[in-house]
Structures are given as structure tokens and as C-alpha cells.
Amino acid sequence: MPDALSWLPSLVVFGAAAVSLVGAVVGLRRLGVRRERADLAAGRRAEVQAKQLIVLADEALRDAEREIAFAEAQFGAATARDTRATVDRAGARLREAFLLQQRLDDAEPDSAAERRSWSGRIDELCRSALAELAAADAALAERRRSERGAGAELPALTEDAAALRRRVDAAATVLSRLASRYDPSAIGGARAAAERAAAGLAEAEAAIAGAVALVADGRPAAAGLATAADAMSRARRDVEAVEGFEAELAAASEDAEGAAVELAADLDAARGERDALDDPDAAQSLGAQIGAASAALGGRAAFARDPLLDRDRLRAALGRLEGARAAARTAQGRLDGARGALDGAISIAEGQLGVARAAIERGGGRVGAAARTRLAEAERQLRNARQEADPVAALDAARRANARAGDAEALARYDALGR
């Protein structure tokens, strides 16, 4: 009988586990439902806020549309075009917000996550639309302030134009004086600046005259005044360039004299360096630049009426001469270094050749052709090193002799071991 009832404890344990599992599943489902309800409640608050923003944005858009219509009637469609574009962008954002709100209002139930996402997007779109509408309103307000101040600005702008006219006429006198002292190539920049200044002033004067007529008729004139102010600003910069050009030419003449003194000193130094060079190629290259620099220095009389070009020519010649001198010093340094190292390199090569010969003699007939060929090449390179007039080439040959002799020794030892 006890054996027959031995399965009861297991049954009780499994039954308890099953009950616990069912309870856990039911509890999780209830927890999920509660969370979903909590999310939906939180989402409803966001939806209420989104609806409030839609109302605000829609009202702001309607106001902006009316303001744009007034502005286009007052200033013209072309003038209000940028503001119209801003309002249109805000309208497009609001239309997208309405589509999302329609989804929220549909009878079909949506998940809490979807509703939160749509509400958040509506919030973002409405706030962006409101910001753009505020920018459009500020632009229209600024434009109206400009129009109200146009009449007050006209006298000051007219006075500025008259003062600038006097400066433009004076700049023409300066240009005539410069033309008597300098070549056309020297004053080309000043002449172009004077022409631009005259053209800019003429544009400004025409815009001011047009603005005067518009103000008299009670029509918008701010755009004409802005055109006049911009044209006068450009003309003023060009007049300043002409006024300062005489001082610029004087400074260029002074710089040219300084460059000539520096170039003359460099020529003397370069001639001494050329005569001391051992490298014929370097000497020839430096000599060519010495000749070119001498010609630039000696030909200054032809550029007496163009100090800008005279200065630039001398500076260029000075730069090329300095480059040639640096290259010559580098070449001479290589020669001097090679001379200093040549005797030691030859001595090292001779010692390595002696070691290689001894290794071949010890190996006798077991030493093959490879080792003997390397030895012969080492001896040839050493002869070249002793006979070569160019110390750089001689040094390279001595180093190759040492390397080939080392190869010959290694091969001879390998053959002598019978491997």
C-alpha cells in the first residue's frame, strides 16, 4: 500500500507549480493591461496639448495670411515674396499636423505607442510652424518700420551722396596727377577703382531720385533707399582705394630700393660661393641665377615709372637666387661629406676584401662560382672608388665594394661547410 501511494508527493509538487505558473501568467497579463492603461492616460494628456497647439497654429496661420495679403497690396508681391514663402512652409507643417490628428480621431483603436508618437510629431510640427509664422510677422513689422522711416532717411542719404560726389571728383584729380608720374600699368588698379566708384555713385543718385518721387506719391520707398545705401557703400570703398593709392606707390618704390640693396649684397655673396664650388653642375645652375639677378638689377631704369612691377621683379629675382644658393650649398655639402668619409670607406672595403679572399683560399675547390663572382665585383668597385674623381660617386663605389666582399665571404664559408 505505501508503494502504491508513493506518487502523491510528486503530484502535489507539480500541481502547486502549475497553479503558480498560471497565477504568474495571469498576473503578468493584468500588469500589462494596467501599464497599457497608464500609457494611454499619459498619452491623452499629450493629445490634449497637441490639440491646443493645432488651434494656436491654425489661428496664427490665418492671421499671417491676412497680413501677407495686406503686405502684397502695400509693397507688391515681389517684395513680400520671402515672407510668403515662410508662411507657406508653416502651412505645409500645419497640414501634416492635421493629418496626424485625423488618425488620432479615427474610431479604430491604436496602441499607446502609436498615439504617443503621433502626438509628439503634432507638437513638433505646430511649434515649428508657430516659430516660422513669428519670423514672418517680425519681417513684415521691420519692413513697415523701414517704410515709416524712409522719409526721415532721405535728407541724410542725399547729403551723404553729395559728400561722396565731392570725394569721387577729388579722386579723379588724384588719378590725373598719378597718370603724369607713373605708367598706365602702375595705376591700372586705381583707375579701375575710380571707375567703379563713379558708377556706384551714379547708381545711388538714381535710386535716391526714385525714392524721392515715391515718397512724394505716398508709395513705398525703403527698397530704393536700401539700394542707394548699398551702392554708396561700394563706391565709398573704391574711393578710399584711389585716395590711398599714391601712398601705396610710394611704399612700393621704397620697398623696391630695399630689395635692390639686398639683391646686390646677395649677388656678391653668390659669386664667391660659385667660384668655390667643386660641383660643376651646381656652379652652372648658380651662375645662371646670378646672371638673371644681375639683369634684373641692371634693368631697373625701364621700370622707374612702375614701382609695383619693379619691386615684384626684384623680389622674384632675389627669391630665385636664394634658392640657387641653397641648392649649391647642399651640393657642396654632399661633396665635402663624401671626401671626409671616402678614405675610411676604402679602408673598410679593403679589410673586407682581405677577409673574403682568405675565406675563399681556405675553402679551396669547395667554394663555388657565386662567392668568387662577388669577390671579383668587390675588387672592381674598389678600383672604381680609387679612380673616381667625384667623391660622392667614389664613396658609393667603396660602399658597394664592402657589401660585395661581405657577400663573397658569407658564400665562401657556406660552401666550405659543404652545405
* Orientation of helix 391-416 relative to helix 369-387, angle to 10°: 160
Cα–Cα distance, 392 to 402 (Å, whole number) = 16
Report in angstroms the alpha-carbon separations of 63 from 56, 71, 126, 137: 11, 12, 15, 10
pLDDT of residue 344: 92
Q: What pLDDT is stored for residue 4 in this prediction? A: 47
pLDDT value for 94: 84
Give the chain's length: 419
Low-confidence ranges of the chain (pLDDT < 70): 1-43, 70-80, 107-111, 140-153, 215-222, 419
Query: Which letter does DSSP use for residue 279 in this model?
Result: -
Provide the pLDDT for residue 1. Answer: 43
Q: Which grid cell is 305?
A: 615709372
CA distances from 389 to 40, 43, 335, 339, 405 (A): 98, 95, 11, 11, 23
> Grid cell 582705394 — which residue?
241
What pLDDT score was predicted for residue 159?
86
**Sign of the C-alpha dihedral computed for residues 92, 98, 101 and 106 taken in this order:** negative
Q: Which three cell numbers stand for residue 55?
A: 488651434
Please report which helix (H) or strand (E) contains residue 27, including its range: helix 8-75
* Side chain identity, residue 98: F
Q: Is 364 left (phi over 0), alpha (psi -120 to 50) or beta?
A: left
Total-model pTM: 0.51
Query: What phi and psi values does residue 95 have, to the nearest 5 degrees?
Result: -60, -40
What span, in angstroms and rounded, lies between the C-alpha atoms of 195 and 205?
A: 15
Which amino acid is residue 324, in one-letter code? A
Q: Are 147 and 222 in contact, with CB atoms under 8 Å apart? A: yes
Measured distance CA(322)–CA(316) in Å, rounded: 10
DSSP 364: G
Distance CA 189, CA 184 (A): 9
Contact 215, 154 (CB under 8 A): yes
What does the block give as the cell for 169?
571728383
